[in-house]
Chain A
Amino acid sequence: DGGITQSPKYLFRKEGQNVTLSCEQNLNHDAMYWYRQDPGQGLRLIYYSQIVNDFQKGDIAEGYSVSREKKESFPLTVTSAQKNPTAFYLCASSTTSGSSLTQYFGPGTRLLVL
């Protein structure tokens, strides 16, 4: 089955700790995205990548970092600089050609601070 997988489903972070959220896709999509979802605020873009070894900051990139070493993978690190990391994190992917460019989402990772 083609799709996007995110792991873990739940993640707990201690004060001052960096944590990494995994995102893998087998849709052969060039573009991948990370969003943060908070209650009542909708989805906000953290980082996105149009191609391997390249990525751009979204609207709320501070306190986060990413890498794109492989087409299939786009891990997100929540650093200790992110002071309010508790949220639902969603990874998405899309093609970069054609008219639709629809984004497809993974199941999400819920990050909680201990």
Chain B
Amino acid sequence: QKEVEQDPGPLSVPEGAIVSLNCTYSNSAFQYFMWYRQYSRKGPELLMYTYSSGNKEDGRFTAQVDKSSKYISLFIRDSQPSDSATYLCAMRRYSGAGSYQLTFGKGTKLSVIP
């Protein structure tokens, strides 16, 4: 079982739809959870990060973490064509000697159709 599982999609939705993107993980050592957005042929950009279980909202985006189920989600409300991108979940754990490492999901490719 991989440490982080993410459905690669592709996921296609109409403009204005609510999008749900998900990742599961197996390593209880993961402490911080992040979502990155990556447009084609560009570097990933950080959307949101969260530490505790529960919801964190930022505009049209809501990040949800359920540590008991080892499950994280990103919801996008009122999706726009500009949201079309690959969304990567990432999880951080302490790797020893004062350093931390991120483990990434494979990314879900989202297309929002006008």
Contact = CB atoms under 8 A, between A and B. Distances in A.
Interface of A: 4, 6, 31, 40-43, 45, 48, 50, 56, 58, 88, 90, 96, 99-108, 110
Interface of B: 6, 8, 32, 34, 36, 41-46, 49, 51, 88, 90, 92, 97-102, 104-107
A99 B51 contact: yes
A106 B46 CA distance: 12
Nearest to A108: B43
A111 B45 CA distance: 21
A42 B101 contact: no
B43 A41 contact: no
A6, A40, A105: which has the most chain B beta carbons within 10 Å?
A105
B114 to A, nearest CB: 26
